Every structure is written in structure tokens, then in C-alpha cells.
Amino acid sequence: MPRQKNIKSLKTSPPQEPKIQESLKVMDKLVRSGQEVNVKGDLLLLNRVNSGGVLLVKGNLIVTQIVDGSVRCSGNFMMLKASAKANIVFHDVEVDTSHLKERLNRVELKNNEIIITPVLKETSWE
């Protein structure tokens, strides 16, 4: 006769997602003229911001296409390409877009100074 083992049931809680994923929003919609998009967390925008469109982001921001409208970001960093038409404000300071390169740029605040660093490797989002 086979021996029976005592099996105790274990209570498990649902797995917890990392916090970055809880606040990350991925959006593949064009921000049109007259439209205002508000995001409380981080945003990965897979489309463009047209002239007259407004993007307000409380977290980090990555925009893979051109920005011709307004962007306001108060996260740790934002990444975007150069555009002469863009109005970009990072932590309530207007970013001089002439310092942005044609490739993706990382914009961050360090020691009360805005640092713009071009991403060295070309990135294709298409």
C-alpha cells in the first residue's frame, strides 16, 4: 500500500509588477492640433505631436516621431528628436531646441542644470 504524504496548501499572492510598468502608458496615436493629452506616469509615444497639439507628462517621456507642438515633462528624463517648431518645457524650463540633434536626444535634469545628450546609436522605430 503506497504511503500518502501530507500536503499543505500554500497561500500565494498574485505576482507584483514592477512599478515602472504600472505607470507606463504606450500610445500609438497622433496628437492633433487643438488636442491636449495628460499622462500622470511615464509615456512612450509611438507617433508624432502636430503643431498646436499639447503633451503634458508627469513622468518620463519618449517620443519616437517628430514633435511640432508643445511638450511639458516633469519626469527624470525625456527622449525626443530635434524640431524647430517644437515648444519643449522640462521641469518648467524651456529647452532651447537648437541644442537638440536630428537623432534621438536624452534630456535630463542634473544638479539644477538641463543636460542634453544625443543617443549615439541610430534608432529606427518603424
The SS3 call for residue 20 is: helix
Instruction: State the CB neighbour count (10 A cutoff) for residue 1.
Output: 3
Give me 50's grid cell. Answer: 502636430
SS (H, E, C) 25-59: EEECCCECCCCEEEECCEEEECCCECCCCEEEECC
**Band of the pLDDT at 124, cuts 50, 70, 90?**
low
**What residue segments make up the domains of the chain, in order of their start?**
19-118
Tell me the CATH architecture of domain 19-118: 3 Solenoid (2.160)
pLDDT digits (tens, 9 = 90+) for 61-116: 999 999 999 999 999 999 998 888 999 999 999 998 888 887 889 999 888 889 99
Q: Which residue matches cell numbers 518648467?
A: 92
